[in-house]
Amino acid sequence: MGTHFATICALPSYCVLFPYVKDAIESQESFPLPRPPLASIPYTIRRSTVGEGLGLFAMRDLDPGDLIVVERPLVVCPESMIVVAVEGEPPNPDQCMDRLIQEHMGRETREQFAALHNCRPWMGTRGIINTNAHSIGTLPGPHEGMGYLAIGRDIS
């Protein structure tokens, strides 16, 4: 497992990437991009009156093109993981992701991640990812077409 994935430490994000993807990203002159300034936070997060869970609600009128949220993701990971069996046990991507999060993510980021809603609790970490992830498309590197997901604290 350690030779198949690498991480980029652009705190507070935790990234599960193939090593050559990490190298391709870090070699870009624009990495890491500075976050654009947000004059004020134009939203609040509160319980939704429709359905279950929390919602992101505007606190003022917004115009087309207004910047609403700026945040680095808590986690970036492939849409699907290829896991090799270890010690004769069948490969289990869910257990692999649980282990990566528990062993490598910082405590504060791990607590923020664990506090996100999980509509599939029997899946552990993968349930949190499936509930809250957004597609960020492909990343640089030789695996064109491999999609990645981002999970944010507020944008989830």
Residue 7: the pLDDT is 37
Residues 53 and 122 in one domain: no
Same domain, 86 and 48: no
Averaged pLDDT for residues 41-70: 80
Which stretch of DSSP H or E encloses residue 43? strand 43-47
- pLDDT (tens digit, 9 = 90+) per residue, 95-148? 777 877 888 888 888 888 888 888 888 888 888 988 899 888 888 877 767 888
Residues 6+ apart with CB under 8 A from 149: 75, 76, 77, 78, 79, 129, 133, 134, 135, 136
Res 78: pLDDT: 83
One domain for residues 122 and 54: no
Mean pLDDT calculated for residue range 30-58: 76
What pLDDT does residue 4 have? Answer: 35
What total number of domains does the chain contain? 2
Task: Examine the domain organization and report whether 45 and 103 are in the same domain.
Answer: no
Average pLDDT, the chain: 76
User: 112 and 51 in one domain?
Assistant: no
How do residues 74-94 score in pLDDT, each as one tens digit?
888 888 765 555 666 666 667
Kindly state the average pLDDT of the residues 48-65.
Answer: 80
Tokens of residue 26, six digits? 């870090």
> Which domain, by its residues, includes 22?
1-33+73-156
pLDDT of 49: 76
Q: Please check whether residues 47 and 81 belong to one and the same domain.
A: no
Nearest in space to 21 (alpha carbons), one of 125, 106, 129, 136: 136
Task: Report which secondary-structure segment, H or E, holds 54.
Answer: strand 54-58
| Residue reference for tokens 């949190």 | 128
Domain boundary among 49, 70, 91: 70
pLDDT in tens, 3-15: 333 333 344 577 7
Predicted structure pTM score: 0.72
- Please check whether residues 144 and 78 belong to one and the same domain: yes
Residues 108 and 50 occupy one common structural domain: no
